[in-house]
Structure 1
Amino acid sequence: MTQPTLIIIDMQRGMLEPAAGDRNNPDAPARIGELLKEWRVAGAPVVHVRHISRSTGSLFAPGQPSAEFQPALLPLPNEHVVEKNVPDAFINSGLERWLHVRDIQSLVIVGVSTNNSVEATARTAGNLGFSTYVVADGCFTFAKSDYNGVLRSADDVHAMALANLHEEYAQVINSREAHDLLMKH
């Protein structure tokens, strides 16, 4: 059985800028860094996903410094990089094929935003039949108004996104459980 693949979503410089908004889980980048180190030590597969916007005015437009990976999480030459321009990392990216060719069946997802790219990617992964795990303390999101115009805190948005995923599309776990999952293989 192959080791689970760590998928790091949109950990780009722009996600840490104040313009991104009020966020939760300030320790998430550190948890992601710890998991990345563990995956590298184990020789397990790692996929780095970055959003490249179609909008020229975006923080994530091609060539913008804010679209680059955060320095602490730079991909190594042997790690796969996926560029996407919609929230779901599986759409028009070749990610599904890359995973299938390597007989990868289990995914551990971390990154940002919990309610956007993380949730979209995890839903598709679950629908495609991958054993999918989302690391709650390895993800973060931003405050957002709901459909009724009520401002929801980043913690509330995060919790609802995780609730949307848990036991339907993925198992929501913490970073310690992700470590344990890696060590089982």
Structure 2
Amino acid sequence: MTESRALILIDIQKGFDDPVWGARNNPQAEANAARLLTHWRANDWPVFHVQHLSVTPGSPLNPTGGAIDFKPEVTPLAEEPVLTKNVNSAFIGTDLEDQLHKARITAVVICGLTTPHCVSTTTRMAANLGFQVTLPHDACAAFTGNANAGWRASDGPTAEEIHTAALDHLNGEFAHVCTTDEVMA
């Protein structure tokens, strides 16, 4: 692992504990993200925290009444950059790309919540912007979505199937999908 690689933690926030998101896979995602964060800090490598601030009233990630705080295991240190966004990509409406270029970062490790949404969108954009992307699948998670949405039969895909499909769409073209242990080796 070189110093030209940064860790980007996407939306690992308390609001994702709300049952509105539906069933979830990979309950170890936050613990694996925390392992990566500890590893990065121990090596004094660049870390970027991304926080979703929803503009949707009533969202568990809306600053008014939502649970926007980072989960305790990945709480940023004072000197670690925190970028806020209200769209899926961590590159839209933030200076993430500029900060990465200024730090001469050429490769990123992305993890967080949720795999088919903000993790996927940020991964795709990072690759399109020319960054080499590594995606530890066990440091990400997906949800089934709101079962009461009414548009999908109750026998729709599981959270694990959604997670796997999102990873399959990213692997090879946009990112190298692997495990947390492989990233840390």
User: How far apart are 1:16 and its partner, in Å?
Assistant: 2.0
Q: How many residues align?
A: 179
Describe the SS at the equivalent of 1:79.
coil
Encode CA deviations 1:18-66: one digit per residue, 9 max, x unaligned. Answer: 3332000011111111111111101011111010011232111124451
TM-score normalised by L of structure 2? 0.91
Describe the SS at the equivalent of 1:152.
coil
Show structure 1 runs of 4+ deviating over 6 A: none
Question: In 2, distance between residues paired with 1:44 and 1:169?
Answer: 23
AA matched with 1:162 = L
Contact 1:90 1:124 in 2 (8 A): yes
Contact 1:2 1:103 in 2 (8 A): no
Percent same amino acid at aligned positions? 38
1:170 to 157, 167, 175: 175
Equivalent position of 2:129 in the other structure: 128
Contact 1:4 1:108 in 2 (8 A): yes
Equivalent position of 1:82 in the other structure: 83
Equivalent position of 1:40 in the other structure: 41
Contact 1:2 1:105 in 2 (8 A): no
Question: In 2, distance between residues paired with 1:153 and 1:82?
Answer: 31
- What does residue range 1-185 of structure 1 map to in structure 2 within 5 Å? 2-64=3-65, 66-144=67-145, 149=153, 151-180=156-185
Question: In 1, distance between residues paired with 2:94 and 2:120?
Answer: 17
Structure 1, unaligned stretches of length 5 or more? 181-185
Equivalent position of 1:183 in the other structure: none
TM-score normalised by L of structure 1? 0.91
